[in-house]
Amino acid sequence: MSPVESVLGFALAAGMGFIFSLLGAGGSIFAVPVLVFLLHQNVSTAMGTALSMVCAAATVGSVRHAREGRVVLRVAVYFGGGAIGGAWLGARYLHPLFSEKTVLMLFAGMLLAAGLRMLVPQQEQAAEKPIDMRAGMLVPCGFVLGIVTGLIGVGGGFLIVPILIWAAHLPLPKAIGTSLAVIALSSLSGALGFAVSGHVNAPVLAVTASGAAMGAWGGGAFVDKVPQRALRGGFAALALCVAVVVGWKALTS
């Protein structure tokens, strides 16, 4: 990496980490396009490196949220346990079955889904409804999300948060904090699946992971201060624009 690329990668990763900690989503969804189109990594290496970066950011962010009581450990263990198996399967065995063009198209579709999902108002879980911590519900959900993580290199936070609200009855702040703990586990498993095939760039990872971790720690301090509606709207607009660019690049490559 050149000095300019290093500074750019660090700054962009810090911004992604900040948003990631606020929303519990958005880390690798934006990291992969940055690594592919700005830092010139191939698709598989970008996804493996992005998951490694997201693991660092999610770990730091989840620690920050846990200190504020926003991580439900038992839910994270059940959901994350299922996600670990699914992410390894997706990264190690399913991802190699697809061409780079197909993976980019799938990624663009995921970006589109993420953007549209953020336009739907997030409903708070009723306070009187008890948290549901059934392994029989959470482990299978985590496994399916883990497969998506490993296959196309995304943490899946924009899906995990609403699932935790629906399946575990978590209020939004705890769903965001718990999703970061889940993503730390699933992204680690997925990153290892890519790493054993040589698809993690260590120098790029060192720069982006440090920036993402710093941004995630800072974002945790603002989770109750930044208007979620405005943040989600901005995320949606950016995700939809990037989805168009990635889809177009995949079709014309």
70-117 pLDDT per residue, tens: 899 999 999 999 999 999 999 999 999 999 899 999 989 988 887 887
Q: What is the DSSP letter of 97?
A: G
Contact 35, 199 (CB under 8 A): no
More confident residue, 143 or 252: 143
Give percent of the chain with pLDDT exceeding 90.
Answer: 31
- Report whether pLDDT(218) > 80: no
- Report whether pLDDT(126) > 50: no
- Report whether pLDDT(69) > 70: yes
**3-state DSSP helix/strand/coil % of the chain, to nearest 5:** 80, 0, 20
- Report whether pLDDT(65) > 70: yes
**Mean pLDDT across the chain, nearest whole number?**
85
**Three-state SS for 2?**
coil
CA distance 18 to 186: 20
Q: Token pair for residue 50?
A: 């992005």
26 backbone φψ class: left, alpha, beta (φ>0; ψ -120 to 50):
left
pLDDT band at residue 24 using 50, 70 and 90 as cut-offs: low
CA distance 180 to 224: 16
- Report whether pLDDT(181) > 60: yes
More confident residue, 211 or 124: 211
- Report whether pLDDT(159) > 60: yes
- Report whether pLDDT(247) > 70: yes
CA dihedral 244, 250, 252, 253 (to 10 degrees): 150
What's the whole-number mean pLDDT along residues 157-173? 85
Query: Residue 201 phi/psi, 5° resolution?
Result: -95, 105
What's the whole-number mean pLDDT along residues 134-162? 88
Place of tokens 């994350």: 80
Contact 50, 153 (CB under 8 A): yes
- Among 18, 46, 70, residue whose Cα is nearest residue 182: 70
- Report whether pLDDT(125) > 70: no
What's the whole-number mean pLDDT along residues 172-180? 87
Q: What is the DSSP letter of 188?
A: H
More confident residue, 220 or 202: 202
Contact 130, 32 (CB under 8 A): no
CA distance 149 to 88: 9
pLDDT band at residue 49 using 50, 70 and 90 as cut-offs: very high
